[in-house]
Amino acid sequence: MRAVTDAGPLIHLSWIGHLNLLPALFDEVLVPLAVQDEVSRADTNVRGLVALREAFAADWLKGQTVSDPAAVAALLTYLDRGESEAIVLMREAGADLLLLDERRKAEA
């Protein structure tokens, strides 16, 4: 099974020491480059950062470029770049599951 993930699930799983659940559950875990950049540029003292860097180095978290920037741009009105790229990458890669931690914003 193939999954695409946004930054939130990666960050939160790394905080609680359970990032290893992802390769146990999925054959492949794809990460859009915007998300990889977001989780990799944190300060070195951020909890879970070492585990995230190790996962990318071990290549079970795979950074991948999105090939349809117009589709990403269309979503940027509602979501940030990481979520937008994750949604587009899921479609492009034919992934089985998308891991997001967003919720609908309350209407004013």
- Which domains occur in the chain, in start order? 2-99 (3.40.50.1010)
In this prediction, residue 48 carries a pLDDT of 86
Match 């090939």 to its residue by tokens. 67
The mean pLDDT of the chain is: 91
pTM score, whole prediction = 0.88
Crossing angle of helices 7-15 and 49-57, in 10° steps, is 120
Contact criterion met (CB below 8 Å) for 8 and 101: yes
- Place 107 in a pLDDT band, splitting at 50, 70 and 90: low
Q: Which tokens is 44 given?
A: 């070195």
Mean pLDDT for 4-22 is 93
Handedness of CA 5, 63, 56, 45 (dihedral sign): negative
Q: Provide the residue type at 101 as one letter.
A: D
Mean pLDDT for 47-57 is 90
